[in-house]
Amino acid sequence: MMQRWILVLAMVASAPATADPAMVRVNSFPNAKALPLHAGIAKGIFARHGLALQLSFTENSTRQREGLAASEFDLVHSAVDNAVAMVETAKNDVLIVTGGDSGMNEFFVQAYVRSFADLRGRKLVVDAPNTAYAIQAKKILQKHGLREGADYTVVPVGRGELRLKAMAENGDYAAAILNLPFTIQAEQLGMKSLGNTVDILGPYQANGAFALRAWVESNGALLERYIAAYVESLRWVRRPENRAECTALLMDKLKVSREVAERTYRLLVDPARGFTPDAQFDMEGFRNLLALRAEIEGGADAPQAEKYLDLSYYRRAIGALAKPGQEGVSR
């Protein structure tokens, strides 16, 4: 059973006295992209939407998918390729309901690696071997003439901090896809980036929120409130005047230095590479994801994107935020 960290229950002091908070169980990865969740709790944003957020973290995407399938939590923020894997591999009925970002991923290697060619005969560390960023890594290596199994070995070790830890402790682990803040920490350890994955592979819909279809369809109004609260939290994070508070949250939650936290925040809010405004869904990036997955994992034609999506809850949530009387919501 995975270890879970229940961080906080958001209290609804500002909600009407007659209203009880609605519990939403959310699971994510303990990396920098969880900042809107931390901020939404700390600033009472979820509370103002009448929500009590139970936040837990996973050690890897395989365990996260298993937990969602078993209804251990209601919503997941993760690479949406995991939702596709749940539908296609585990035959779970899952819906993606928001976007989030394009990954903020870089292909990091040990200092002794001069080029992709130097990875021949080496080990690539990944989260789970058949989803998301592992698939990106395999495609990148394929573009450089390297085939899994024949030219390099895949070693699953778990989430980003565990991939960085594995590389820091064992020089035989030559490469990994990393994101914030682990890219910055890897650089400080003398490792180097061979490129940003979007630059190498093109647009990609990475992080987003997804849930079991049964939960979504039974909790539509609750889901819309959650999405509105999450988007409001994301807007708060992206406002320049909140930089100092966000830096402090990153230092506290990720246990990183001020320098790492400050650099992480700047990249998180970078218009070109950071959070997608309002967690919008990138359809072009998602179609590229599906094509990439089909090529690397299945060899069949990519399925239709609409099979995995229901963005109607997102559209209604955004509409509610824009209504008169909601102008102060994102301050």
**pLDDT of 143-172, one tens digit each?**
999 999 999 999 999 999 999 999 999 999
Residues 178 and 163 in one domain: yes
The amino acid occupying position 139 is: K
b/e burial code for range 274-294 (CB count within 10 A of at least 16 → b): bbbebbbbbeebbebbbebbb
Residues 209 and 81 in one domain: yes
31 located within any domain:
yes
pLDDT per residue over 19-59, tens digit each?
A: 688 999 999 999 999 999 999 999 999 999 999 999 999 99
Work out how many domains the chain is built from and give that number.
2
Residues 215 and 97 in one domain: yes
Asked which of 147, 169, 201 is the last residue of a domain, the reply is: 201
In whole angstroms, how far apart are CA 227 and each of 116, 154, 196, 268, 321? 40, 36, 29, 19, 10
328 located within any domain:
no
Residues 88 and 228 in one domain: yes
Question: Strands (DSSP E) along 200-319, which ranges?
Answer: 207-212
Alpha-carbon torsion, ordered 176, 182, 184, 189, to 10 deg: -70
Q: Are 130 and 85 in contact (CB under 8 A)?
A: yes
What domain range includes position 116? 106-201
Mean pLDDT of 212-235: 98
- Confidence (pTM): 0.90
Tell me the three state secondary structure of residue 311.
coil
Asked which of 201, 226, 258 is the last residue of a domain, the reply is: 201
280 located within any domain:
yes
* pLDDT of residue 308 exceeding 90: yes
* pLDDT of residue 15 exceeding 90: no
